């Protein structure tokens, strides 16, 4: 086949039209101008590996197969004169019907999904081909034509051939292939002659396919090209660090090194081999191979599931890696695991390994742990919210900002170390951001008396608090709760309180309350005075019997139509503004403006104001009144 002409097919079928989506797909790939075309070899080798894995399983369950003693391997031949690259495997092979279905149509939505992703922007598509199950067709980025010859493992099936140029049709015929497996011949186009260079082929294999679990040979070479070793099955002490890094890059195509690795080997109560990685970043890289969450699950080196979501709890779904179980029973189709109880045990073992690694990192390398926390802390909060069996241990890994250390992260254990004598609760406040929380009137008492308060501004914090009611027998207490029992004051603090100048008279206070109630009407459930405020004018609290603030925030995030219950407005009669308001005449228009502004400012700082811009005209009126000197 040294010329450029079409290869010979016996008993050809004549032209057969590709499925519509395949035509569109080929049109994109054949006319692609992008240079990263080496991906075609990765995809062909991956397909060959899949065929060999299927064959390996069949060998364990079926004795009636063609060439039962044939080694499972991949071979590459380079015909520099004919400009042909040939990739052969001894895998499961295809019947004529399977070949027509697999190469001429796609029953699933892989091609359609790829085309949807391509719509309007083809840039970089060659890097994501494998995600959509259309990897074989990437060969047309480099091919003048492709011929596929295959014979099924089933002894009674004859060999078949398939031929296409990347146009709208393909042809099929018969062939005299004697051995089991598939051979793909690629006539390389003028722009792809680099793939006739043996050194270039070696480089691509080492970069993309070094851990294919079957030997890859190049004809004329004495040794296999790929490393092939299941690194996770080696004793951890025998694996050099650069090997771990190489495997991570091979597994993920991520450029940044992982934060940590966990290489775990156990022979009791289960024989498990696991190699897990904690990525450095939450966002997956542009060229990542990871299509979805989950670990690669092997049974005795046989790939069972590419993305097993049952091996770790959902809140650890950011972990990447492989798990290999020696005694994992399989069903006949090799697609699922029968022993749910065993998977649950593996889940428990691996979860403990990850948590212990995180605790070790937090203890020995706090700076690295804070890098982890910045990226993945929300997932640990999710685990606490889920009332996971490991909630207590996860709680030790939580980190928060606080009123005394707003720019640093603190753990709950560090908070306990900072507690004042006699303090029996861990205080926290919920809010939308650090800036608004720091100005919250709910903090008045605690800042005046130097109590540290955790500031929780992550949306997931409200969910987390549903599972985190106490820590080491210390209850967590929201400082915004209306029924909060304040910590006892020292004798010195009590004396200071008694020395404060007298507040308004009872008559003036009652007048203020009536004024607020008349002005605000149905907007609040009640108005009352409070001794909780020192620097602030007012605050909003929940009425008796209302849902707690945590549940209210959860409902707000889950249901946009959720109606926030009316609040109680608590006012500080000692505040200078309210003292002056009480002195205004009943018919002074500023009285109503100030009352409305106080209420809406309280709404704003709670993150509850439906339309903050609506306050602008009132604020302008107040400024005009102030400048007039009325």
Model's pTM, two decimal places?
0.65
The pLDDT of 406-411, averaged and rounded, is 94
Which helix H or strand E contains 82, and what residues bound it?
A: none
Round the average pLDDT of the chain to a whole number and report it: 85
| 3 state SS for 101-150 | HHHHCCCCCHHHHHHHHHCCCCCCHHHCHHHHCCHHHHHHHCEEEEEEEE
Is residue 385 within 8 Å of residue 460, measured between CB atoms?
Answer: yes
Instruction: Tell me, yes or no, whether 174 and 264 share the same domain.
Output: no
Instruction: Tell me, yes or no, whether 257 and 312 share the same domain.
Output: yes
Distance CA 67, CA 57 (A): 15
Q: What 3-state class would DSSP assign to 13?
A: coil
Instruction: Tell me, yes or no, whether 200 and 277 share the same domain.
Output: no
Question: What are the φ/ψ torsions at residue 499 (nearest 5 degrees)?
Answer: -85, -5
Is residue 429 within 8 Å of residue 481, measured between CB atoms?
Answer: no
How does pLDDT run across 474-491, given as a tens digit for each residue? 999 999 988 888 777 655
Distance CA 41, CA 272 (A): 32
User: Does residue 428 lie in a domain region?
Assistant: no
Please state, in angstroms and as integers, the Cα–Cα distance from residue 521 to each residue in 348, 396, 568, 573, 616, following that order: 56, 46, 12, 20, 21
Asked which of 367, 399, 422 is the last residue of a domain, the reply is 367
Distance CA 341, CA 228 (A): 31
Q: Give the pairing type, strands 454-456 and 320-325.
A: unpaired
Cβ neighbours of residue 386 closer than 8 Å, sequence gap 6 or more: 313, 314, 315, 467
> How many domains does the chain divide into?
3
Supply the range of the domain harboring residue 84: 16-218
How does pLDDT run across 71-85, given as a tens digit for each residue? 999 999 999 999 999
The two tokens of residue 617 are 């005209």
Report the CATH number that the domain containing residue 254 is assigned in CATH: 3.30.230.80
| 3 state SS for 197-234 | CHHHHHHHHHHHCCCCCCCEEECCCCCCCCCCCCHHHC
Angle at 114 between CA 110 and CA 115, to 5 degrees: 120
pLDDT given for residue 335 in this prediction: 38
The two tokens of residue 311 are 């091996």
Nearest to 31 by CA among 193, 196, 167: 167
Helices first, then strands: H and E counts in the chain:
19, 21
pLDDT given for residue 629 in this prediction: 64
Instruction: Tell me, yes or no, whether 173 and 283 share the same domain.
Output: no
Distance CA 66, CA 131 (A): 32
Q: Give the pairing type, strands 538-542 and 567-571.
A: antiparallel
Instruction: Tell me, yes or no, whether 88 and 206 share the same domain.
Output: yes
Q: Which of 250-264, 498-512, 570-584 has the lowest mean pLDDT?
A: 498-512
Pick the most confident of 50-54, 71-75, 212-216, 540-544: 71-75
Asked which of 218, 239, 273 is the last residue of a domain, the reply is 218
Nearest to 198 by CA among 104, 351, 80: 80
Distance CA 322, CA 276 (A): 6
| Per-residue pLDDT at 2 exceeds 50 | no
Share of the chain above pLDDT 70, in %: 86
Q: Which of 15-19, 66-70, 237-241 has the lowest mean pLDDT?
A: 15-19
User: Does residue 407 lie in a domain region?
Assistant: no
pLDDT given for residue 562 in this prediction: 66
The pLDDT of 506-520, averaged and rounded, is 93
Instruction: Tell me, yes or no, whether 264 and 214 share the same domain.
Output: no
Instruction: Tell me, yes or no, whether 112 and 20 share the same domain.
Output: yes
Cβ neighbours of residue 580 closer than 8 Å, sequence gap 6 or more: none
**Which alpha helices (DSSP H) does 489-587 contain, by range?**
491-498, 506-520, 549-558, 576-581
User: Does residue 480 lie in a domain region?
Assistant: no
DSSP 8-state code for residue 548: P
Instruction: Tell me, yes or no, whether 82 and 144 share the same domain.
Output: yes
Q: Which long-range contacts (CB under 8 A, 24 or more apart) does 335-339 make?
A: 335/304, 335/305, 336/305, 337/297, 337/304, 337/305, 337/310
User: Does residue 465 lie in a domain region?
Assistant: no
pLDDT given for residue 544 in this prediction: 85
DSSP 8-state code for residue 624: H
Q: Which of 32-46, 202-216, 269-283 has the lowest mean pLDDT?
A: 32-46
Would you say how long the chain is, in residues? 630
pLDDT given for residue 334 in this prediction: 37
Distance CA 68, CA 149 (A): 20
| 3 state SS for 229-240 | CCHHHCCHHHCC
How does pLDDT run across 165-198, given as a tens digit for each residue? 888 889 999 999 999 999 999 999 999 999 999 9
How does pLDDT run across 190-223, given as a tens digit for each residue? 999 999 999 999 998 887 777 687 899 999 887 8
How does pLDDT run across 346-369, given as a tens digit for each residue? 999 999 999 999 999 999 999 999
Instruction: Tell me, yes or no, whether 236 and 327 share the same domain.
Output: yes
Instruction: Tell me, yes or no, whether 171 and 301 share the same domain.
Output: no
| Per-residue pLDDT at 299 exceeds 80 | no
Instruction: Tell me, yes or no, whether 192 and 312 share the same domain.
Output: no
Q: Report residue 8's pLDDT band, with 50, 70 and 90 as the boundaries.
A: confident
How does pLDDT run across 490-511, given as a tens digit for each residue? 555 555 555 566 678 889 999 9
Asked which of 338, 367, 396 is the last residue of a domain, the reply is 367
Q: Which of 111-115, 302-306, 354-358 has the lowest mean pLDDT?
A: 111-115
């Amino acid at each position: 086949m040294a010329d450029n002409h079409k290869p010979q097919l016996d008993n050809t079928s004549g032209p057969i039209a590709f499925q519509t989506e395949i035509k569109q797909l080929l049109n994109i790939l054949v006319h692609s101008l992008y240079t990263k075309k080496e991906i075609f070899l990765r995809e062909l080798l991956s397909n060959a590996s899949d065929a060999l894995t299927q064959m390996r399983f069949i060998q364990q369950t079926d004795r009636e197969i063609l060439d039962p003693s044939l080694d499972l391997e991949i071979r590459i031949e380079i015909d520099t004169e004919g400009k042909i690259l040939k990739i052969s495997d001894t895998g499961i092979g295809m019947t004529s019907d399977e070949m027509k279905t697999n190469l001429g149509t796609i029953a699933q939505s892989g091609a359609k999904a790829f085309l949807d992703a391509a719509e309007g922007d083809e840039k970089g598509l060659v890097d994501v081909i494998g995600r959509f199950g259309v990897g074989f067709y990437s060969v047309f980025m480099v091919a003048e034509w492709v011929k596929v010859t295959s014979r099924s493992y089933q002894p009674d099936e004859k060999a078949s051939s398939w031929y296409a140029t990347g146009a709208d049709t393909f042809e099929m015929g018969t062939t005299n292939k004697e051995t089991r497996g598939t051979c793909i011949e690629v006539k390389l186009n003028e722009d792809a002659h680099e793939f006739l260079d043996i050194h270039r082929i070696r480089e691509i294999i080492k970069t993309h396919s070094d851990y294919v679990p079957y030997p890859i040979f190049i004809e004329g070479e004495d040794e296999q090209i790929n490393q092939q070793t299941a690194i996770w099955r080696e004793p951890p002490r025998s694996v050099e660090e650069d090997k771990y890094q190489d495997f991570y890059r091979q597994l993920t195509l991520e450029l940044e090194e992982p934060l940590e690795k966990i290489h775990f080997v156990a022979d009791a109560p289960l024989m498990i081999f696991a190699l897990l990685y904690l990525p450095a970043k939450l966002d997956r890289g542009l060229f990542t191979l990871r299509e979805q969450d989950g670990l690669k699950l092997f049974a005795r080196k046989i790939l069972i599931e590419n993305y097993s979501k049952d091996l770790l709890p959902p809140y650890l779904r950011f972990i990447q890696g492989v798990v290999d179980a020696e005694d994992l029973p399989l069903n006949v189709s090799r697609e699922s695991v029968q022993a749910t109880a065993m998977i649950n045990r593996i889940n428990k073992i691996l979860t403990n390994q990850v948590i212990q690694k995180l605790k070790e990192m937090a203890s020995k390398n706090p700076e690295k742990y804070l890098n982890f926390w910045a990226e993945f802390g929300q997932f640990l909060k999710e685990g606490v919210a889920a009332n996971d069996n490991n909630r207590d241990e996860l709680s030790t890994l939580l980190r928060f900002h606080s009123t005394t250390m707003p720019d640093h992260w603190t753990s709950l254990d560090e908070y306990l170390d900072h507690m004042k004598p006699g303090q029996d609760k861990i205080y926290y406040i919920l809010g939308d951001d650090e800036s608004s929380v720091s100005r919250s009137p709910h903090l008045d008492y605690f800042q005046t008396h130097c109590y540290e308060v955790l500031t929780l501004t992550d949306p997931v914090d409200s969910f987390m608090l549903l599972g985190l009611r106490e820590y080491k027998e210390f209850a967590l207490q929201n400082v915004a709760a209306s029924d909060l029992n304040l910590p006892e004051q020292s004798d010195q603090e009590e004396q200071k309180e008694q020395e404060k100048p007298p507040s308004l008279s009872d008559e003036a206070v009652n007048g203020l309350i009536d004024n607020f109630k008349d002005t605000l009407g149905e907007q609040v459930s009640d108005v009352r005075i409070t001794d909780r405020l020192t620097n602030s004018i007012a605050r909003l609290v929940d009425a008796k019997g209302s849902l707690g603030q945590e549940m209210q925030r959860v409902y707000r995030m889950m249901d946009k139509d959720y109606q926030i219950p009316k609040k109680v407005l608590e006012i500080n009669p000692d505040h200078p503004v309210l003292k002056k308001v009480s002195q205004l005449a009943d018919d002074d228009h500023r009285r109503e403006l100030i009352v409305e502004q106080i209420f809406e400012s309280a709404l704003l700082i709670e993150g509850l104001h439906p339309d903050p811009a609506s306050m602008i005209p009132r604020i302008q009126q107040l400024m005009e009144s102030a400048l007039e000197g009325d």
